[in-house]
Amino acid sequence: MKVKTILVSQPEPKENSPYFELSEKQKVKIDFRSFIHVEGIPVKEVRAEKIDLKEFTAVILTSRNAVDHFFRIAEEMRFTVPAEMKYFCQSEAVAYYLQKYVVYRKRKIYVGQRTFPELGKLIKKHKTENFLLPSSDKLKDLVPKTLDELGVKWTRLDLYRTVMSDLSNLENVFYDVLVFFSPSGIDSLFKNFPNFKQNDTRIAVFGNTTVKAATDAGLKINILAPTPETPSMTMALEKYIKEANKSK
């Protein structure tokens, strides 16, 4: 069956996205809709954890959400983040985003290559620090496992939650392909539409954990990324579309 419409379960990207190029090149309609979103945990709930921010000498930042909510809570708790605080950022993108809150050249900022174990190598060189990990309510097991193996002193503090979005206005809208990037996206699909039947809808998934969630939910996976041949989702979609839409 041909592919004419695709729904990507993420916010609409900015200009120059490969999705726009894919849409134009393959003559398919691509819509975007966040199936999940992030909400900050109220300061009252954070205070109930009885964690004193003054005790920490370093902060581990795994995402831009972690950056935003660390500084949000600091402000709401009237805590002035000391100039000597050390920041360990999982990627250059996170470190760059940190500039929204601090003067980059005047702070001690350590940047990983992208994965958390790579950041762990930097953290290991600073084992005497007391680390705070601003976190989501959904934290990958790899993060605490890595920190425990390093033997550093660290504390997790949940500051934001992943929440399922209301998709009720999509109830009678049908797409040839649904694209998912996280288990939470799969959960949101079935929370919003408990009686969802795949029928002729093709399912595209990114990453092993999303594959497992889709399979556990009884979905048939038609498009998979990353693979050696298609390392990005847009490449995987294009490959599938070319095959499905070619003249018989």
- Percent of the chain past pLDDT 90, that is, above it, reads 91
Q: Which two tokens stand for residue 58?
A: 């370093």
At 222-238, the pLDDT tens digits run 999 999 999 999 999 99
Q: Is the pLDDT of residue 196 over 60?
A: yes
- The reported pLDDT for the residue numbered 150 is 95
- The reported pLDDT for the residue numbered 136 is 92
pLDDT band of residue 125 (cuts 50, 70, 90) is very high
pLDDT band of residue 247 (cuts 50, 70, 90) is low
Pair 95, 109: CB distance under 8 Å:
yes
What domains appear along the chain, each with residue ranges and CATH number?
39-162 (3.40.50.10090)
User: What are the angstrom distances between the C-alpha of 217 and each of 185, 187, 194, 202?
Assistant: 12, 9, 11, 14
Q: What DSSP line would sit under 44-106, residue for residue?
A: HHHHTT---GGG-SEEEE-SHHHHHHHHHHHHHTT----TT-EEEESSHHHHHHGGGTS-GGG
- Percent of the chain past pLDDT 70, that is, above it, reads 99
- The reported pLDDT for the residue numbered 60 is 98
* Spatial CB neighbours of 25, under 8 Å, sequence gap ≥ 6: 238
